[in-house]
């Protein structure tokens, strides 16, 4: 049986949940397969209604979800209440996007003469890729788990979803799955629209099921590599969208350090310690100028860090890894600038926040290892050239941040292309840890932060679970509604011209 553990005490308790057997994984995948075609055929409005029901279901069960997740994650009720709201908002936003309909990229080229001769009628749109496997993360028990954005975007695409429950929050996963099932029942969704499996081996079996056509993953590079290997063994490899690791460099310009150093220190402290530093967008490296203004920023960061209490991490693996990586960073030459209060005996998976210091000139891959938890490495720099060169030696990221003053346009022009090449989102005068759920969001970036061509947050995340399909000279009855002549409900490209709904 699976266990559930309170990270504030480290005490585990048995659950009634067993790891899912390969046979059951297979049955669940087959049910998802049979649901796939039915779900696609019901059309967009049905999926929007299902997403609305999912949003309502999260809000209706919010108190129980928060209490259960708090006991399994130690993230606190304030943060978890906000996160449940984020989950509901995501479902609602995808419902809106499904109704708006431009994500299907409907396009019609009528038959006619072309410079290459007579051409047939060709119509194209994006359709569901088929059932999707979703691997949630430990650090977002709602918004990146069973009630998360991968599930929302898969359903928006018309894809049934089988989630693999995260071992750190099995009871939250189970409760979340019940919310999904109630939503499915409330609108009469086909059986198999949602499925759940438990246990690491079940996850590996899941991505090898022939019925599964894509996988979304948020978690560690190591776990992702194991799943990728399993996928590579399939006769038909499937797309794997993994959001893996990210160091999220942040640069403080000389002007910004001089004019608002104290505020930046406070903001950066809050950003690297929020949720105990367990965010994929946590700034892991901060470039701060040499000299007295930069020193003031560092002094303020040291004070804030030294005054901070211990923070509880999500599980023992993360706790152990945090300590090991912090030690490796020091062994690689980083100096401990400050540590927060030490955890008491019996305080579960608690650790001290850590501020490490180095110089941009010596910063390389060894000092850019992501420590998942409350740790930041401050790298002092003498010139922007030094910063640019250091970016070339560290891994690329989900985000890159620049604090800069209005009267420093040269700093912006000097660093822009470096920040853009190294990340999927460039943040100005803010912190990367808030990820707005919106149409224009991009949460992804060059390897290893994620699959480089897609996002896992925001409306366009739906593109991951779609495939294009074209019909040539098709009779009207064989076409989806969106591609029939006279349909005006969504934006379409007709003979090359984008047209809006009537």
Write down the least CB distance from residue 319 to a copy of itself, Å: 28
List 400's β-bridge partners, or say none: 426
Contact flag: residue 417 with a copy of itself (CB under 8 A): yes
Q: What is the 3-state secondary structure (H, E, C) of 322-339?
A: HHHHHHHHHHCCCEEEEE
Confirm if 168 and 223 have CB atoms less than 8 A apart.
Answer: no
In the complex, minimum distance from the CB of residue 444 to a copy of itself, in angstroms, rounded to a whole number: 7
CB of 237 to a copy of itself, least distance (A): 7
* Of residues 128 and 358, the one with the C-beta less far from a copy of itself: 128
One of 11, 78, 430, 481 touching a copy of itself (CB under 8 A) = 430
Q: Does 491 bind a copy of itself (CB under 8 A)?
A: yes
Size of the site for a copy of itself (CB under 8 A): 82
Site for a copy of itself in 391-410 (CB under 8 A): 396, 404, 406, 409
Task: Report the alpha-carbon distance of residue 64 to residue 131 in Å, rounded.
Answer: 29
Site for a copy of itself in 456-485 (CB under 8 A): 458, 460, 466-475, 477-478
Q: E strand or H helix at 107, and its extent? A: strand 107-109
Pick out residues in 27-46 that bind a copy of itself (CB under 8 A): 37
The token pair at 479 is 């076409």
User: Which 210-269 positions form the footprint of a copy of itself (CB under 8 A)?
Assistant: 213, 232, 236-239
Contact 155, 121 (CB under 8 A): no
Phi, psi of 375, rounded to the nearest 5 degrees: -145, 135
Question: How many Cβ atoms from other residues are within 10 Å of residue 373's Cβ?
Answer: 27
Residues forming beta bridges with residue 180, ordered by sequence position: none
Site string for a copy of itself, 123-162 (x = CB under 8 A): xx--x-x---------------------------------
CB 127 within 8 A of CB 39: no
- Which among 33, 280, 369, 370 is annotated as catalytic? 280
String of contacts with a copy of itself for each residue 56-85, x by CB under 8 A: --------------------------x--x
Identified binder of a copy of itself from the candidate list 243, 442, 462, 482, rule CB under 8 A:
442
Q: Is 345 a catalytic residue?
A: no
What is the distance between the terminal CA atoms of the chain, rounded to a whole angstrom? 57
Closest of 372, 445, 403, 397 to residue 297, by C-alpha = 403
Is the backbone peptide bond immediately before 448 cis, with ω within 30 degrees of 0?
yes
Q: How far is the CB of 131 from a copy of itself (least distance, A)?
A: 12
Q: Which stretch binds a copy of itself (CB under 8 A): 12-20, 149-157, 201-209, 424-432?
A: 424-432
Considering only 78, 438, 481, 485, the residue that binds a copy of itself (CB under 8 A) is 438
Among this protein's residues, is 96 annotated catalytic?
no
What the block records as the tokens of 246 is 């990210």
- Closer residue to a copy of itself (CB): 115 or 344: 115
Contact 427, 396 (CB under 8 A): no
Catalytic residues: 243, 280
């Amino acid at each position: 049986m699976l266990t559930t553990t309170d990270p504030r005490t480290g005490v585990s308790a048995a659950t009634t949940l067993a790891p899912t057997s390969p046979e059951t994984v297979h049955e669940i995948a087959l049910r998802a397969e049979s649901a796939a075609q039915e779900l696609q055929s019901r059309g967009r409005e049905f999926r929007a209604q299902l997403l609305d029901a999912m949003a309502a279901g999260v809000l209706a069960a919010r108190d129980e979800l928060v209490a259960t997740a708090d006991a399994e994650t130690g993230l606190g009720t304030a943060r978890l209440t906000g996160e449940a709201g984020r989950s509901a908002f995501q479902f609602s936003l995808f419902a809106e996007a499904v109704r708006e309909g431009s994500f299907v990229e409907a396009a019609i080229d009528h038959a006619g003469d072309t410079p290459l001769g007579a051409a047939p009628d060709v119509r194209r749109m994006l359709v569901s890729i088929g059932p999707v496997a979703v691997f949630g993360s430990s650090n977002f028990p709602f918004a990146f788990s069973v009630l998360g954005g991968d599930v929302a975007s898969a359903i928006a695409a018309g894809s049934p979803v089988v989630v693999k429950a995260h071992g750190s929050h099995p009871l939250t996963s189970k409760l979340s799955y019940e919310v999904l099932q109630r939503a499915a029942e409330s609108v009469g969704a086909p059986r198999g629209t949602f499925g759940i499996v438990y246990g690491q081996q079940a996850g590996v079996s899941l991505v090898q099921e022939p019925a599964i056509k894509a996988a979304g993953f948020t978690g560690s590079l190591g776990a992702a590599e194991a799943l990728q290997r399993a996928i590579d063994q399939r006769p038909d490899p499937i797309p794997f969208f993994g959001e893996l690791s990210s160091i999220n460099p942040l640069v403080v310009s000389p002007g910004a350090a001089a004019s608002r150093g104290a505020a930046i220190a406070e903001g950066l402290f809050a950003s690297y310690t929020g949720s105990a530093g367990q965010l994929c967008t946590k700034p892991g490296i901060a470039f701060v100028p040499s000299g007295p203004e930069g020193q003031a920023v560092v002094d303020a960061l040291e004070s804030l860090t030294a005054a901070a209490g211990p923070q509880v991490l999500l599980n023992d693996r993360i706790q152990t890894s945090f300590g090991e990586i912090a030690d490796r960073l020091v062994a690689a030459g980083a100096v401990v600038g400050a540590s927060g209060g030490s955890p008491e005996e019996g305080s579960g998976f608690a650790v001290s926040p850590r501020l490490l210091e180095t110089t941009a000139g010596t910063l390389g891959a060894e000092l850019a290892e992501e420590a998942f938890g409350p740790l930041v490495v401050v790298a002092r720099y003498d010139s922007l050239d030094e910063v640019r060169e250091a970016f070339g030696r560290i891994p690329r990221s989900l985000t890159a941040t620049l604090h800069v003053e209005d009267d420093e346009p040269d700093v912006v022009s000097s660093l822009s292309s470096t920040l853009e090449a190294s990340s999927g989102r460039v943040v100005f005068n803010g912190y990367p840890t808030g990820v707005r759920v919106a149409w224009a969001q991009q949460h992804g970036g060059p390897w290893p932060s994620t699959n480089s061509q897609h996002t896992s947050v925001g409306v366009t995340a739906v593109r991951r679970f779609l495939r294009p399909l074209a019909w040539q000279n098709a009779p009207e009855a064989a076409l989806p509604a969106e591609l029939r002549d006279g349909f005006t409900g969504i934006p379409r490209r007709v003979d090359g011209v984008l047209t809006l709904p009537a």
